[in-house]
Chain A
């Protein structure tokens, strides 16, 4: 049976498509965006995260660890250790849930069961399920299988993608996906490489290909001060997407700092420590640029 690796499942999700939704976060992403707000979704592998303010310093984690030193003087087991085999014993032993595993494997039937719990809310509100990440297409077979199962249950399906995936994988899920939430970040390729760690050429090529076969695409643009909030940057994106068919709306997502705390929890280094969220004026200006290009544009969502 195909297994997928998730790192979260968010119910009453109101920002990832129409209506009340469950958003399923698949683990693993090919990009390394500086502003990432789900850093625990980057690696395809399991990771241990630590919520420091929950820790009661009981050192149970250290006591049960089969590979590390079991002396309490060593303090709390660190989140990252090269010897760690992700056996999960320290997670199970932690009484306060200060240690958590980012990433757990699941099967299509188990995941479907979780998703179906909120069917009443989807049906009442015109909502459904959204697959996000990480990058859901980083697990293409699992994504295809769960999408197919959801469609068989008559659920509305959305996929939130960064677009950096094999074109075949993307087009293969198009018939199973009612709505695409497609991220476009920076048109200038060298700056795209700098801030996301990858070229945007395949991303844009995939979007062109998708827009020729799919009529329900929402473009999502994270607006990050000092990265892509200049008029030129935003106009370039607006110019590109306004010439594609199948684009129903543009959502401008103001950068927020919630991800910063998460970087620390997964033991990664945050890159935009000092960046503040964009002002309301910046967001309104950005909206005007897209509106003038003829796009239905919303801030947030």
Chain B
């Protein structure tokens, strides 16, 4: 970093996150003045235009890449048309100890006087809860599943390469051609398509206008600037904003600025889950980098400076605030932009280049919370790139995470995508796979597998509340065999997946009808060609995911039940009655039984065939109940195995379980073993995890914590790289590593002030350790250290 980027980074880190009422005010004014005048898509596009025309524009001192979603860095707008926060919500945001946002009195007053009176009852969330069934609400409140779109729009998509060769004026031409092709005589949906295309066109104008306002401000600042160098920079930025996004970018700086305007537009229009993401940034920038160097208009130093400014921009944008269950399932400032490094080109050649290494150096030096980064490692990726990545990971900042590109491609081929589209795809959010620029891959929420087992063990009753939530599948005390127990679990699983999907389908349809995303649709193939919105199935590919949580925990529970209750005889047998009583008492009267459950049963994560077979049974059950069922956008449901921080929330609503876990403690995360249950070292974990058919998922998350000694001495780095390659040869999807000592984490707990920049890998993303809840901090500390003894 140079003086400029060090300062900008420091400012970004030191500025506290705050809530800005500006967007809420503008959107409320627009809706009040225009309700009933336009079709839903045009209404959304005009509201977006209104925002782009009137929102505050910010250009900070020294910035080279410009534009903020809020009026200034770290000022986060709200989206009352989706979730209208109550005054109470805002007070909680202002006072809660973790992921806190400053809310000033003016904002509170605005909400009280203008925003809440208009949106209460009109917001998507309010309308949704009117429509959802009681069965859904009961299961939701019990913590059986969560719902992503309850507070945020469907999102989760990534930019491909199209903006680097097309300006928004080119997209406007495509839109005009699509309108000209409409067949009002034969197509019953021609009117809807025209309204949708009209909304796309307006949204392009909005973003061009937004850029023009930046050009104007840059010129004003330049005129008033005394420093000749800064003056020239400001004039140059004005020129850049004149050119992009209206036209395709001509150089490295314009390419970055163009993407950034698109990013801001997507996250201002709606607050889609997992903000937005430049995808294969190294591949996209490589032609501009080469050209700039060849012409002499760019130096590696300037390219790096621009990229550093670009990275800081992401960090300036904390996630929109979440409340209630949604805050618990994903309590973090990070908004999950996840830049892909390496991977494959569409023609199948290795996609890495010198910009890939530059990105890794930047991650190494800046260690910002956002953006996340990941290595896309294919068979063809050079070891040099993997080693470079592992050296960065070895510093203990938790990223980049590492993905198996060959599996990522295979997963997408199974879903029916073309080979080229699959290769141009990659990973976003935590571990989710998608065809960049061509797919709506919507996550619908987490699903608590362990809670479903708990309910099965109580014949459909939730012991926490005494409510009958599930089916009556029989009193387990009367089960004669393990198969009977597992069959009962299967029935409960199917039941709750049906409840979840019923709600998701309704919500998806509501978004399709009431909350289109016109600008995002411009960027995603084939919305323009089809004249259909992203939220209504306009994308070339549509997939919808349910994310299963607690695989390790449920496997260990089933293993203990099977062995101790159904297979052992004599003294060693534990009756279900005895076990249920101990669970009810949270093991308070039977620590010896708990010790047996923790230490003397087969555990997932040790290459133990007994336990791993049960893991596969659970995975297959999830897959069979979910995969290939129709969603509400013409796509299909798929499973993913990832938790974000939801394993902590799900644990908090789940009582003591037969794996020896006490009531309220976190569940296992992703496909990682239960914390501390893996005792055979990293190869044992990997062999267990690789038994799953990762190709059938849309992403799995494997988190491993490494003691620094294991990666730093001698050629241990090379061996570590071989470990990664071995897992990927076996088809594994993703790996991430915490290289850190428990001692360091304890110190950080005791002295958070001096460990503010300590970043740890949580579950699919990295977070500041000191920002995590005490429960999650403890969980990270207890995660097995693979120490050599």
Contacts and interface: CB of A to CB of B under 8 A. Distances in A.
| A and B physically associate | yes
Contacts of B726: 20, 120-121, 124-125
B723 interface: yes
B729 interface: yes
B593 to A, nearest CB: 8
A12 B682 CA distance: 7
A15 interface: yes
A12 B683 contact: yes
A56 B680 contact: no
Given A11-B681, A19-B719, A124 B599 contact: no
B592 interface: yes
* Contact size range, B: 20 to 34
B717 to A, nearest CB: 10
A229 B786 CA distance: 31
Contacts of A276: none
Nearest to B725: A124
A298 interface: yes
A124 B786 contact: no
Nearest to B591: A56
Contacts of A10: 681, 788
Given A11-B684, A15-B788, A300-B713, A20 B599 contact: no
A97 B600 contact: yes
A151 B722 CA distance: 22
Interface in A1-38: 10-15, 19-20
Contacts of B730: 120
A32 B610 CA distance: 40
A13 B786 CA distance: 11
A58 interface: yes
Interface in A114-131: 117-118, 120-121, 124-125, 127
B464 interface: no
A96 B716 contact: no
B754 interface: no
Contacts of A60: 592
A58 B592 contact: yes
B687 A20 contact: no
A197 interface: no
Given A11-B683, A20-B722, A124-B722, A97 B789 contact: no
B683 A118 contact: yes
Given A20-B722, A97-B599, A258-B789, A14 B710 contact: yes
A74 interface: no
A164 B699 CA distance: 53
A75 interface: no
A247 B715 CA distance: 20
B604 to A, nearest CB: 15
Contacts of B683: 11-12, 20, 117-118, 121
A61 to B, nearest CB: 12
A121 B722 contact: yes
B687 A12 contact: no
Interface majority SS (helix, strand, loop, mixed), chain A: loop
A175 interface: no
Residue from B592, B593, B598 whose CB has the most chain A CB atoms within 10 Å: B592
A300 B596 contact: no
A20 B714 contact: no
Nearest to B685: A12
A14 B788 contact: yes
Nearest to B593: A95
A301 interface: yes
B657 to A, nearest CB: 17
B595 interface: yes
Given A117-B607, A121-B683, A12 B723 contact: yes
A15 B712 CA distance: 12
A125 B723 CA distance: 8
A206 B170 CA distance: 81
A124 B596 CA distance: 37
Given A12-B681, A20-B719, A121-B726, A95 B595 contact: yes
A124 B682 contact: no
B592 A125 contact: no
Interface in B153-196: none
Contact of B719 (A14, A56, A95): A14
A289 to B, nearest CB: 19
B611 to A, nearest CB: 14
Given A96-B599, A121-B683, A20 B788 contact: no
Contacts of A301: 713-715
A300 B714 contact: yes
A35 to B, nearest CB: 16
Nearest to A8: B789
Contacts of B684: 11
Nearest to A123: B726
Interface string A55-87: 010101000000000000000000000000000
Interface in B763-789: 786, 788-789
A301 B719 CA distance: 12
B723 A121 contact: yes
A92 B733 CA distance: 38
A11 B786 CA distance: 11
A19 B722 contact: yes
Residue from A13, A14, A127 whose CB has the most chain B CB atoms within 10 Å: A14
B592 A12 contact: no
Nearest to A18: B715
Interface in B99-138: none
B729 A95 contact: no
Contact of B729 (A117, A120, A258): A120
Given A117-B687, A121-B723, A125-B722, A14 B716 contact: yes
Contacts of A120: 687, 726, 729-730
Contacts of A121: 683, 722-723, 726
26 contacts: A11-B683, A12-B681, A14-B710, A14-B719, A20-B723, A20-B726, A56-B592, A58-B591, A60-B592, A95-B595, A95-B596, A95-B599, A96-B595, A96-B598, A97-B599, A117-B607, A117-B687, A121-B683, A121-B723, A124-B726, A125-B718, A258-B789, A298-B714, A301-B713, A301-B714, A301-B715
Interface of B: 591-593, 595-596, 598-600, 607, 680-684, 687, 710, 713-716, 718-719, 722-723, 725-726, 729-730, 786, 788-789
Given A12-B683, A14-B710, A118-B687, 12 more contacts: A10-B788, A11-B683, A11-B684, A12-B723, A20-B722, A96-B599, A117-B607, A117-B687, A120-B687, A124-B725, A258-B789, A300-B714
